[in-house]
Amino acid sequence: MSKNSIIAEDISGKVALLMGNEAIARGALEASVSVAAGYPGTPATEIIESLFTISESWPEIYVEWSTNEKVAFEVAYAASMCDVRGIAVMKHVGLNVALDSVMTAGYSGARGGLVLVSADDPNCYSSQNEQDNRFLARHALIPVFEPSDVQEAKDMTKFAFDFSEEYKTLVMIRTTTRLSHSRGNVIFGNINKDWKKGEFDFDIARWTFLPNIARTLRKEQLKRFKEIEEITNNLPFNWLKINNGSKLGIISSGISNAFVEDYLKALNLADEVSLLKIGITHPPPRKLIIDLLSNVEKVLIVEELEPFIELYVNAISNEINRKIQVFGKDLVPRFSEITPDRVLNALAKFTGKSLPAFSENQTEEEICVVAPPRPPVLCPGCGHSAFFYALKVAISKISQKPSILSGDIGCYTLGYFKPLEAIHTAICMGGSIGLANGFSKVTDAPVFAIIGDSTFFHAGIPALINAVFNNSKIIVTVLDNYTTAMTGLQVDPGTGKNLTGTTQRILIEEVAKGVGVKFVRVVDPYELGVMIETIKEAFQHDGPSLIVARHLCSLLEVREKRKRGEKIIPYQVMEEKCTSCHLCVSNYSCPALSVNEEKIVIDEMLCTGCGVCAKICPESAIVQSTEL
């Protein structure tokens, strides 16, 4: 039985300690979701993983990792078209990929319940930006539900499916990193068990977006959204508490509301302010906002990232000619995630009370516990490190001009850091090859695109086709480690496996040949000499070339060796031979290597026995333990 099988139990009233993402999965189960699709990405990944765990007990649910977020949304959208319930799961930047289809779904609305989970990442813990997708939902005219705790994450998800069907609309559930990965007690509800076989209705005037049809659906969309605006004030996740006599009001949403409520109680302020908690942030509950504004002189809006609710509050205040002081992003930062300390600071300034406010200038002694800085590094034995070393050696031999190294989103983005310093750009999934196309047209520099296997399938193929189509002289290297490593070792089309078992494996090199790339090579990056020569050979090719640097992720490799009972033999440094040239740490990166009093030291607990450092050492001073 799976370790997470508890979330699949059919026991109403059971209390379980769940992660926010697991709670969303449980809510989808209780709502009898039929189809779940997504693409791995922090902080959303565990939702699909949890739903797959559930599907092992409830085979009525189909779950897949899709090749990208657009495809994932379309899989769920198709389920809705067939009058069964579908959920699409992605991180915030994934919605950019899916937006084309999402905007259209905003026009057509839903038939079966259709829920889109967007997990935003304030503070960019694992992302290239801090995007607030409430604005994209506003653009698409779709409702946004924002849970404030783990229990509400489960309850909102279940409610969202019913809401979607009742009002025939796509619904977005917006979470943020702190809620996605926090844990709390969740009370289970009933599982509806309302699964059925989907049937397409052939309502082609609703599902075929020719311009004349779209114009008609646009009017229906506006009418539908107007109806939703009217009922938002009465939805169970929005509530208002007016404290008569108080001139202070607070509006909060999402995880911010949990912090606000905790501090109001802890600081005995609960009876001194009026509080509006907004769970449905788009469209906002206009009547509740007006009721609050009519009873206070100052209001503080506490929300994560952008001033979304704040803009509405200011507009409504002007419309009703209620001149009150509205505080928001002047007290609560517009960047990074909202923390309890930031909420406390905002409350102190807003109420004018002497609260134990936190200062970002506190000393380490005042904070008491400070985690030591830990620069991100590739894992011991990672094939990516070997590739980057070979790349730098090859570049030093092929051109006097500095090469442009166009990177992508994945573990290998860590090649940006010292000592590798082998990534010059990284903008979005698939951007490495897209940018490389452009670089090749406007510079004379050697141009390399560096992309991972899952990212290649996600968004790299169209850009590779463009390189062939426009004869761009670029060297594309796909770092294939047989997994989607950065987000937790998920399967991808190149692994020969999907969530349900074995499937046809799609080879990157065959895709490249199929779209017309003439120079295609597959090399194990551990073979440094071959890797270097292959890169040099690719540079001589006139047109796009592609190298697959293929080696199993070192985490998986070590696990497989241990399962087979193989002993991992670490490497050691022969001190009498080591000249302290430091080539192994200045040009190569491995956490198992360090310097102690100018001498190289290998941590045998970290060493995976890959032997790359031994090949790099010019003095042959690094050998396996058995050779000493």
Q: If DSSP states are collapsed to H, E and C, what string results for 311-356?
A: HHHHHHHHHCCCCCEEECCCCCCCCCCCCHHHHHHHHHHHHCCCCC
Omega into 43 within 30° of 0, i.e. cis? Answer: yes
For the segment 417-437, the average pLDDT, to the nearest whole number, is 94
Query: Can you give the residue ranges of every domain in the chain?
Result: 5-233, 238-359, 383-560, 568-627
Read off φ and ψ for residue 240, nearest 5 degrees. -130, 130
The residue assigned the tokens 């006097």 is 400
CB 175 within 8 A of CB 20: yes
CB 522 within 8 A of CB 550: yes
Which pLDDT score, from 0 to 100, does residue 123 have?
84
Which pLDDT score, from 0 to 100, does residue 368 have?
53
For the segment 372-390, the average pLDDT, to the nearest whole number, is 90
Omega into 283 within 30° of 0, i.e. cis? Answer: yes
| Two tokens, residue 9 | 């139990």
State the DSSP code for 13: T
| Two tokens, residue 526 | 């551990």
For the segment 156-169, the average pLDDT, to the nearest whole number, is 97
CB 296 within 8 A of CB 248: yes
Residue 256 has pLDDT above 80, yes or no: yes
Task: Give the residues across from 185 on adjacent strands.
Answer: 17
Q: Residue 448: which residues within 8 A CB-CB, separation 6 or more? A: 391, 403, 404, 405, 406, 436, 474, 475, 476, 477
Which pLDDT score, from 0 to 100, does residue 357 have?
53
Residue 356 has pLDDT above 70, yes or no: no
Report the half-sphere exposure of 597 (CA within 13 A, side-chain side).
1
In 10 A of CB 521, how many CB atoms? 19
> What distance in Å separates the CA atoms of residue 441 and residue 439, rounded to the nearest whole number?
5
User: Which of the four CATH numbers 3.40.1010.10, 3.30.70.20, 3.40.50.720, 3.30.1330.10 does domain 568-627 have?
Assistant: 3.30.70.20
- The two domains 5-233 and 383-560 share their CATH topology (first three levels equal): yes
Which pLDDT score, from 0 to 100, does residue 457 have?
96
> What distance in Å separates the CA atoms of residue 112 and residue 164, rounded to the nearest whole number?
8
Which pLDDT score, from 0 to 100, does residue 338 have?
87
Taking only the tens place, the pLDDT of each residue in 436-450 is 999 999 999 999 999
Closest CA to 479 of 402, 397, 378, 393: 378
For the segment 243-269, the average pLDDT, to the nearest whole number, is 89
Read off φ and ψ for residue 173, nearest 5 degrees. -105, 115
Taking only the tens place, the pLDDT of each residue in 468-477 is 999 999 999 9
Read off φ and ψ for residue 406, nearest 5 degrees. -90, 110
Taking only the tens place, the pLDDT of each residue in 542-552 is 999 999 999 99
Taking only the tens place, the pLDDT of each residue in 522-532 is 999 999 999 99
Topology annotation, domain 383-560: Rossmann fold (3.40.50)
Our measurement of the distance from residue 439's CA atom to the centroid of its chain's CA atoms, rounded to an integer in Å, reads: 28
CATH code at 5-233: 3.40.50.970
Q: For residue 484, what pLDDT band results from cuts at 50, 70 and 90?
A: very high
Closest CA to 385 of 553, 520, 530: 553
Closest CA to 333 of 325, 345, 324: 345
Instruction: Please give the span between the terminal C-alpha atoms of the chain, in angstroms, as a whole number.
Output: 45
Which pLDDT score, from 0 to 100, does residue 6 have?
93
Q: Has this prediction a pTM greater than 0.85? A: yes
The residue assigned the tokens 């890797």 is 531
For the segment 21-32, the average pLDDT, to the nearest whole number, is 98
> What distance in Å separates the CA atoms of residue 473 and residue 475, rounded to the nearest whole number?
7
Q: What are the percentages of helix, strand and coil residues in the chain, rounded to 5?
A: 40, 20, 40
CATH class name, domain 238-359: alpha beta
In 10 A of CB 304, how many CB atoms? 28
Which pLDDT score, from 0 to 100, does residue 341 have?
85
Which pLDDT score, from 0 to 100, does residue 369 have?
60
Residue 570 has pLDDT above 80, yes or no: yes
Which pLDDT score, from 0 to 100, does residue 562 have?
93
CB 338 within 8 A of CB 332: yes
Which helix (H) or strand (E) segment holds residue 172: the answer is strand 171-176
> What distance in Å separates the CA atoms of residue 495 and residue 507, rounded to the nearest whole number?
9
Q: For residue 2, what pLDDT band results from cuts at 50, 70 and 90?
A: very low
> What distance in Å separates the CA atoms of residue 402 and residue 183, rounded to the nearest whole number?
48
Considering the chain, what is the average pLDDT of its residues? 92
| Two tokens, residue 594 | 């360090």
CB 150 within 8 A of CB 18: yes
> What distance in Å separates the CA atoms of residue 177 and residue 305, rounded to the nearest whole number?
12
Q: For residue 627, what pLDDT band results from cuts at 50, 70 and 90?
A: low
